[in-house]
Chain A
Amino acid sequence: MALRADASRFYLGYLWWLLEPLLWVGVFYLVFSVILKSRQDDFLIFLMCGKLTFIWFSKAVSQASNSIVASRGLIAKLDIPKSLFPMSVVQESLYKQAAAFILLFVVLVVFGFAPSGTWWWLVPIILVNYLMIVACALVGASLVCIVRDFSMLIPLGMTFLLFTSGIFWNVHDLGDPAKTELVLALNPIAFILDCYRQALMWNTVPDLSHLALVALGAVLLIGGMLALMRRSSQYLALKALTA
């Protein structure tokens, strides 16, 4: 229902679900391909695999972070699980992302990247990506609810991730394999973006044990956060209402 409301707010409505990611890709393409002359092969596709999936993460987590605080009106009236608010934002983002994925697939096929067997690896990759988003959304929403100041740090953090996750540069072209390893190990976003490219562009199987590890980490974090948020429901309400 919120999706319907969201779409009704703008003249172009649902079209924005496709238009917004496209415009982002356009901006990045202009800067890194036309102006900075990136040497990456198939830069447009490379960029889209990274940027379209990164937008999913950054938009969902940013919006979810403010979701508890933004729902003060409802929180003042009902004792509802506070995890509901970030979860519903993430759920909405999933539907929007479906449009972005379809766009990505269409462009891939148009540019001659025919669907291959490795595309099936998208299923676990998207699932793990989703789990990462849920985990970060829950953490972000709780932090912003308890200390409002965190909302200032989240855009900064997103920009940091934007630059460090290999969206417009290839994590395998860093020159030093040890550095590549380090980036992939420290930054799960860089890892998951690389997984998308491996499956979609290079027809290789991603590092499954690493993927499983990220999934496990995300699941543990989600479980912990849900338990914590259930136990501190009234505390979060107090914080949301009085801070």
Chain B
Amino acid sequence: MSPSDRQVILELEHVSHSYRSRRDTFEHGVHHILRDVSLKLYEGETLAIIGRNGAGKTTTLQLMAGILAPSRGVVRRRPGASASLLSIGLGFRPDLSGRNNAILAAMLQGASRRQALAYLDEIKEFSELGDSFEEPVKTYSTGMRARLGFTTALKTHVDILLIDEILSVGDAAFRSKAEAGMRERIAGEQTVVFVSHALAQVRALCDRAVWIEGGAILAEGEVGEVLEKYTDSLSNTAP
């Protein structure tokens, strides 16, 4: 299925993003994160964003989610479409239990209290946190936090799921389970934007890929081709 006959759910048009950091306002104060980026996200597809650290991947996701506004250009989201950004160490309140955090997260993503409560059993079961689910999140290990964050987002409904690196944590067993869960969601017409350094995962899960470097798009298109260019560039720069 070609992406062109699907509906655009989100579009970035000539988006640039920069901000002024207060510490050296005089010379290098302005940070340019993205320069003139345009891309389209189609409904139901899984788009990968790859690139090195500091290339602007996370910022792109934050712009897509409407958390940040671009300094220049437009981000168009289909009216009513909800987007949620997932990354390691989701905004948990460390003193609250995993259960309460899950309720809070689900409600912040737009679920009603009753819906949120309905998701809970599923979340508890999938995340395999067991009794720790009732313990405060501050006692969790990084992997356990990632499990909770991932499961909460997977089981609650959002129109666009923006995933930042989150599948690359957790132990091997949970990772394969998470991947399977993702695949299920993708098959179920979930629109996903996926940021990862795990290229094998990208290859397995995504329809299309965008390679960002230094705040600009270097390549865009079918996953295999983009990955090839990206890995070529990596092997060229790293002798």
Given A77-B67, A78-B65, do A6 and B21 touch, yes or no (CB 8 Å)? no
- Interface pair A77/B66, CB less than 8 Å apart: no
- Interface pair B95/A237, CB less than 8 Å apart: no
Tell me which of A73, A75, A80, A148 contacts B92 (CB under 8 A).
Answer: A73
Count, chain A residues at interface, CB 8 A: 24
A75 to B90, CA, bound (A): 10
Q: Which residue of A lies closest to B86 (CB)?
A: A77
- Interface pair B67/A234, CB less than 8 Å apart: yes
Given A234-B69, A242-B19, do A76 and B95 touch, yes or no (CB 8 Å)? no
Q: Is A186 an interface position by the 8 A CB rule?
A: no
Q: Which residue of B lies closest to A234 (CB)?
A: B69
Given A79-B67, A243-B22, do A5 and B136 touch, yes or no (CB 8 Å)? yes
Given A6-B95, A77-B85, A238-B68, do A1 and B104 touch, yes or no (CB 8 Å)? yes
* Chain A, range 1-22, C-beta contacts under 8 Å to B: 1-2, 4-6, 8-9
Q: Is B54 an interface position by the 8 A CB rule?
A: no
A78 to B66, CA, bound (A): 8
Q: Is B221 an interface position by the 8 A CB rule?
A: no
- Interface pair B108/A78, CB less than 8 Å apart: yes
CB distance from A60 to the nearest CB of B (A): 19
* Chain A, range 209-241, C-beta contacts under 8 Å to B: 234-235, 237-238, 241
Q: Is A126 an interface position by the 8 A CB rule?
A: no
CB distance from B157 to the nearest CB of A (A): 15
A238 to B20, CA, bound (A): 10
- Interface pair A78/B93, CB less than 8 Å apart: no
Counting contact residues on chain B (CB < 8 A from A), the size range is 20 to 34
Q: Which residue of B lies closest to A84 (CB)?
A: B108
Which residues of B have CB within 8 Å of A74? 91, 108
A2 to B95, CA, bound (A): 8
Q: Which residue of B lies closest to A148 (CB)?
A: B22
- Interface pair B91/A5, CB less than 8 Å apart: no
Q: Is B151 an interface position by the 8 A CB rule?
A: no
Q: Is A40 an interface position by the 8 A CB rule?
A: no
- Interface pair A73/B89, CB less than 8 Å apart: yes
* Chain B, range 86-144, C-beta contacts under 8 Å to A: 86-87, 89-93, 95-96, 100, 104, 108-109, 136
CB distance from B114 to the nearest CB of A (A): 17
Which residues of A have CB within 8 Å of B109? 78
Q: Is A116 an interface position by the 8 A CB rule?
A: no
- Interface pair B69/A77, CB less than 8 Å apart: no
A237 to B91, CA, bound (A): 14
Known: A77-B65, A79-B66. 14 other contacts (CB 8 A): A2-B95, A5-B95, A73-B89, A73-B90, A76-B85, A77-B87, A77-B91, A78-B85, A234-B66, A234-B67, A237-B67, A238-B68, A242-B21, A243-B22
Task: Give residues in A with beta carbon < 8 Å to B.
Answer: 1-2, 4-6, 8-9, 71, 73-80, 148, 234-235, 237-238, 241-243
